[in-house]
Structure 1
């Protein structure tokens, strides 16, 4: 038998989360972000499950978009970071992918190419995230070039919040102001809300929302657990205890002798580590569940093992279930221990 370490994915919770988002956004269309391998949940399986539940999928690159088409996904697909090479324009046009334009090079490629089919364009403007998007001094000229291009069949405007997870952050007001000024009198479809903004700025849902982390059951709002928003974790990372011993007072646990037992302690070793995706940054006290009883990590995380303080569950034994995050242990609670 192989190591008992699994990422268990819940189809039921995935669909549940989309329904929760749908209830919150009303008539706005949902661009489900599945980039980065579906936030680590598997891009193909996630998209196939949600294919009839959403309006578009959002990906980072044309490679991801083509992977979805090859898997049989039928929904429209948005290249959220646009094209990386000039030849991708023709591929995107042939596949009817929606294309984001956020830099002048992409626009220049469009202007000098004759495409096999018209495209759906999204122009991204930089209202304060300062990552992708046209700065405001050139955004209007880029918009006009795209809007008037004979092979652009539709155009939409998008921007991205930097601090929507904190509704009181002053940058939010400035971003909203710039977005509203730019889109005023432009009678086209708009999108600015990510997961956090869907919750904190419902008046800005506009025509499209672009949820990411909330689809997978992660909490997008500072200080608000996902369960309080009606969201459920899609992934549960689970393993088993592979060893349990009583370590004498004064024993050091793990690499660098970071943790020292302050009394005789039951220490369990779980078959999971940073090689399995569990963060090496986990500090002493990071919560885990052993047979659904909360215990804590002690000592530095190894490549494929974690030491656990079992004083809260002294009857634990080899083979018992260990939950690193997921059901009954939200990922945001685990993440707090990394800070």
Structure 2
């Protein structure tokens, strides 16, 4: 049992709700729930089990993540977003009935030269402007032909990934969509373009398969986390990161708080100390004023976050040792904490430390 009052409560019903919103927003497409990086810090096995009765499939980064799901009894389709990293992964990939993304010629050669016990499901990744992984669009006919001619390959889809879908007004996404559409014109192959941001802002990108990720966990996928989502869709936060007050101090004006004395009291200040720090995943660089809730009341971080503790302003609110502190969740959005800290919700959620218990409910 955890003795420290710190925990991340994972709301599985919220994740199911958010997956249904993804299906509703792109009603003609199937949706692969992206649960890489331990389901963005939420616990991949628990999330997969919660979604298994209704998810069209799952997407993970690598074979290790897929193995964890198969070992836990998940039988749904699983896509390896980065493909395999060596040819000796392919027999196990086929045996586990995983679908592999092929994004370069070395991987293509490995797949064509494999001798798996069962057919390999394959997707082709095209680089339409992200310039990270993927074949050039003009290579698609040759790559498709080689895979279609291979007796142990089941070619299933072509995919791409957007560089600026989190900026819905930026024209670069439309440019990428057009490049993808030109590449697939006249070809009989399923398509997959949309991550969470494109799913919620660009109907042309819905294709045959969407890949909702961050939206499953209740965080906005947009660069501006206050931007409204599509229509009346309302995501539910899937993680509540919470701790408790363990001490309270009364400080006089002029007294500094914490390492480096970054915050200096300008008035008589009631200081709260909570059991949580950067070793638990809270950003060390969070500035004074970052929102925090204590006993249901909004307040602010003051002073530099340390490894195990942080300090907050209780001057204008009623609170006492033992009261609950919400770092993010229903009352304080993870997007607001990320924006204040100059980062993104993805980093905060995936950065939860190993000593933070995940409580699935």
TM-score, structure 1 normalization: 0.96
Contact 2:34 2:59 in 1 (8 A): yes
Q: Does 1:104 align with 2:108?
A: no
Mapped to 2, the partners of 1:173 and 1:199 lie a distance apart of 14
User: Which ranges in structure 2 are unaligned for 5 or more consecutive residues?
Assistant: 343-361
Mapped to 2, the partners of 1:271 and 1:97 lie a distance apart of 42
After superposing the two structures, state which structure 1 stretch, 167-176 or 187-196, moved more.
167-176
The aligned counterpart of 1:266 is: 270
The aligned counterpart of 1:63 is: 64
- Please state how far the C-alpha of 1:329 moved relative to its aligned partner: 1.3
User: Which ranges in structure 1 are unaligned for 5 or more consecutive residues?
Assistant: none
The aligned counterpart of 1:319 is: 322
The aligned counterpart of 2:6 is: 5
Q: Secondary structure at the match of 1:319?
A: coil
Contact 2:248 2:271 in 1 (8 A): yes
Which of 245, 250, 254 aligns to 1:246? It is: 250
- Please state how far the C-alpha of 1:190 moved relative to its aligned partner: 0.4
Written as runs of structure 1 = structure 2, the 5 A alignment for 1:1-339 is: 2-221=3-222, 222=224, 223-224=226-227, 229-313=233-317, 315-339=318-342
Distance 1:28 1:137, change over 3 A: closer
- Please state how far the C-alpha of 1:71 moved relative to its aligned partner: 0.4
Mapped to 2, the partners of 1:308 and 1:145 lie a distance apart of 61
Mapped to 2, the partners of 1:226 and 1:9 lie a distance apart of 22
- Please state how far the C-alpha of 1:169 moved relative to its aligned partner: 1.0
- Please state how far the C-alpha of 1:226 moved relative to its aligned partner: 6.5
TM-score, structure 2 normalization: 0.91
Mapped to 2, the partners of 1:44 and 1:213 lie a distance apart of 17
Mapped to 1, the partners of 2:209 and 2:178 lie a distance apart of 19
After superposing the two structures, state which structure 1 stretch, 152-161 or 237-246, moved more.
152-161
Mapped to 2, the partners of 1:145 and 1:258 lie a distance apart of 61
Distance 1:55 1:205, change over 3 A: same
Q: Secondary structure at the match of 1:53?
A: coil
Root-mean-square deviation (CA, aligned residues, Å) is: 1.4
Contact 2:147 2:155 in 1 (8 A): no
Map Cα deviations across residues 23-82 of structure 1 (whole Å, 9 max, x no partner): 111131110000000100001111011111211100001111111011011111101110
Mapped to 2, the partners of 1:27 and 1:96 lie a distance apart of 25
Larger relative contact order (CA 8 Å, sep ≥ 6): 2
Map Cα deviations across residues 80-107 of structure 1 (whole Å, 9 max, x no partner): 1100111111111111101100011101
